[in-house]
Amino acid sequence: MNETTRDVVELGQWFDAYVADEKKIEPKDWMPDAYRKTLVRQISQHAHSEVIGMQPEGNWITRAPTLRRKAGLLAKVQDEAGHGLYLYSAAETLGVSRGQMDDGLLSGKDKYSSIFNYPTPTWADIGAIGWLVDGAAITNQIPLCRCSYGPYARAMIRVCKEESFHQRQGYEIMLRLSHGTAEQKRMAQDALNRWWWPAVMMFGPSDKDSAHSAQSMAWRIKRVSNDDLRQRFVDMTVKQADYLGLTMPDPDLKWNEERGHYDIGEIDWSDFWKVVKGNGPCNRQRLAHRQKAHDDGEWVRDAALAHANKRVARATRDAA
């Protein structure tokens, strides 16, 4: 074993013990290359999801039924932009630039959550997204507050607080619609029918097919497996649907006394992979819209950079 290899082995042992002791890894700490790469992949995908995730709901800001609903939705969509920023900043601490991440998204190389490739044809979709999509996001993100990487874990604490407000505003929309006129109840049921399975799939492939889970759990990046998170979401959401008086679009859904959980029907994984690979109902539209926003924002980036360069030049001159 040469000196360098021995150092890496020792550092690796230090890293494993440190993480096992529930201590946080910070940007300047030593970390295995693969740990860094996994974090960059997951955090940047998460950031892209927040940013692309503004589009399905943004579609309804100008058409929200009341001023109160418009203000709530506007605040929610703005929050998602903020989540994207915290997450891009967390990923930058790992040595990747915002420009590299933008390129990854816009070139189609990087993934973002499958859930944001479905359309929002009615106002009830806004209720269903808040209730189901934010509900699933919180279920996934609460354990990430205990992630071994400090900047990601800390970003998640604030994100979860805001997602909790989002989930409630969505559920309240569903409550009003499902207790409203027959037409409103029909809209709420239709939205649930269309969003349920995509929300169940958001947690990613089942544990046996999840390429990264075992290593990510060993490194304490992920704290709960995809299937266990999915089960938590199902158990919580079935009761909420009962309270709304809506029917889950799954004839095989039933309480399993022995397991103490709900069983669900078979998930159509072919539909999930079709969407993940770029062929869902709105994939192309979402990326084209993001590309246009990026192009339109070029002058803002140029102006910010020119301002920053001017400040650096002034500080250098003053210091001389």
List residues binding ligand FAQ (CB under 6 A).
41-42, 45-46, 49-50, 53, 80, 111, 113-114, 129, 133-134, 137, 140, 202-205, 210-213, 216, 222, 226, 276
Min. distance of Cβ 77 from ligand FAQ in angstroms?
8
Separation between Cα atoms, residue 90 and residue 297, nearest integer Å? 22
CB of 229 to ligand FAQ, least distance (A): 7
Question: Element (H or E) spanning 217, and its range?
Answer: helix 213-218
CB of 156 to ligand FAQ, least distance (A): 9
By beta-carbon proximity to ligand FAQ, the closer residue of 8 and 106 is: 106
Q: Return the number of the residue (50 or 250) whose C-beta is nearest ligand FAQ.
A: 50
- Closer to ligand FAQ by Cβ: residue 130 or 246: 130
Q: How far is the CB of 137 from ligand FAQ (least distance, A)?
A: 4
Q: What is the SS3 assignment for 39?
A: helix
Burial state string for 233-247 with b = 16 or more CB within 10 A and e = fewer than 16: bbeebbebbeebebe
- Give whichever of 185 and 212 is closer to ligand FAQ, judged by the CB atom: 212
Q: CB neighbours of 273 closer than 8 A, spacing ≥ 6?
A: none
Q: Say if residue 310 is exposed, middle or buried (CB neighbours under 10 Å; 0-12, 13-18, 19+).
A: exposed
Report the nearest approach of ligand FAQ to the CB of residue 158 (Å). Answer: 13
**Residue 20 neighbours by CB distance under 10 Å:** 12
Q: Which is nearer to ligand FAQ, 114 or 178 (CB)?
A: 114
Shortest Cβ contact with ligand FAQ: which residue?
Answer: 53
Q: What are phi and psi of 263, to 5 degrees?
A: -95, 145
CB nearer to ligand FAQ: pick between 57 and 102: 57
Smallest distance from ligand FAQ to CB 217, Å: 9
Q: Give the shortest CB-250-to-ligand FAQ separation in angstroms.
A: 19
Q: Give the residue with the Cβ less far from ligand FAQ, 119 or 180.
A: 119
- Smallest distance, ligand FAQ to C-beta of residue 163, A: 6
| Cα 56 from Cα 62, distance rounded (Å) | 13
Reduced to 3 states, what is the DSSP secondary structure of residue 236? Answer: helix
Residue with smaller CB distance to ligand FAQ, 8 or 122 = 122
Name the token pair of 159: 């994100």
Nearer to ligand FAQ, 185 or 271 (CB): 271
Q: Which helix (H) or strand (E) holds 74?
A: helix 67-92
According to DSSP, residue 261 is labeled E
Please report, as a single letter, which amino acid is at residue 239. K
Residue 209 has a CB neighbour count (10 Å cut-off) of 11
DSSP string, 170-198: HHHHHHHHHTS-HHHHHHHHHHHHHHHHH
Distances (CA, A) of 176 to 60, 98, 115, 237: 17, 41, 24, 17
Least Å distance between CB 80 and ligand FAQ? Answer: 4
